[in-house]
Amino acid sequence: MATTAFEVTSLPQLEVLVKEIGGPHRSQINVIVSSCTFGDAVAMAAILRHMTEAYQWRVANFTRLRALADLYVIVNRIAEVNLPRIRSDVRDAQAVALLRGRGATIIELAGEIGGPSVDIFAAFVLRLNRLADHIGDRLRSVRARQGLLDDFASVILNLRFANILLPFP
């Protein structure tokens, strides 16, 4: 059986690849995802999982892409659940504790991805922990804490559009 290999660096590129060569083939399709936009990781993982299961595509670094997709889900949960909960009550100690717990999970998943992404997500977790420290500081005014939440929301927005490199051993 012949082998055909492709390097994918974005969701639009993957969509074109699937549209052009998707379906059963006589040759083995091998894919390497070398990078992707953080916000596209979940969609790329879902598409490639389907192509792997349905047509036996081989994705060389699928485990890393799946970890990145899981990481996106956690960061999105922070943006959509944790931050609004804290915004509604900046004195909610349980919500602040959840932020810290999510930080530990982010570090673990970033380690699974490896490469330069570890530094990106380590810096993100440092900012997350700093936010938790400042939110928990009762000497800060409610308005100051709300401002910190707004600043961190913009950090998450920027991260969603970051291009993340996925190392290939």
Residues 59-72, mean pLDDT to the nearest whole number: 96
Residue 3: pLDDT over 90? no
Do both 58 and 129 map to the same domain? no
Do both 82 and 125 map to the same domain? yes
Residue 24's pLDDT is 77
Instruction: Give residue 92's pLDDT band: very low, low, confident or very high (50, 70, 90).
Output: confident
* pLDDT digits 0-9 by tens, 23-46: 777 778 999 999 999 999 999 999
Do both 30 and 75 map to the same domain? no
Do both 74 and 46 map to the same domain? no
Best CA proximity match to 163, nearest among 41, 18, 31: 41
This prediction has a pTM of: 0.92
Do both 103 and 142 map to the same domain? yes
Residue 1's pLDDT is 62
* pLDDT digits 0-9 by tens, 125-139: 999 999 999 887 878
Do both 43 and 87 map to the same domain? no
Residue 138's pLDDT is 78
Do both 155 and 100 map to the same domain? yes
Counted domains in the chain: 2
Final residue belonging to a domain, choices 44, 63, 82: 63
DSSP secondary structure letter of residue 52: H
Do both 138 and 59 map to the same domain? no
Do both 59 and 76 map to the same domain? no
Do both 74 and 86 map to the same domain? yes
Please indicate, yes or no, if residue 169 is contained in any of the structural domains: no
The range of the structural domain enclosing residue 45 comes to 3-63
Final residue belonging to a domain, choices 28, 63, 98: 63
Following DSSP, what letter does each residue of 56-101 receive, concatenated? --EETTHHHHHHHHHHHHHHHHIIIIIHHHHHH-TT-HHHHHHHHH
Q: What is the mean pLDDT of the chain?
A: 92
CB 111, CB 59: distance < 8 Å: no
Do both 73 and 56 map to the same domain? no
Do both 135 and 100 map to the same domain? yes
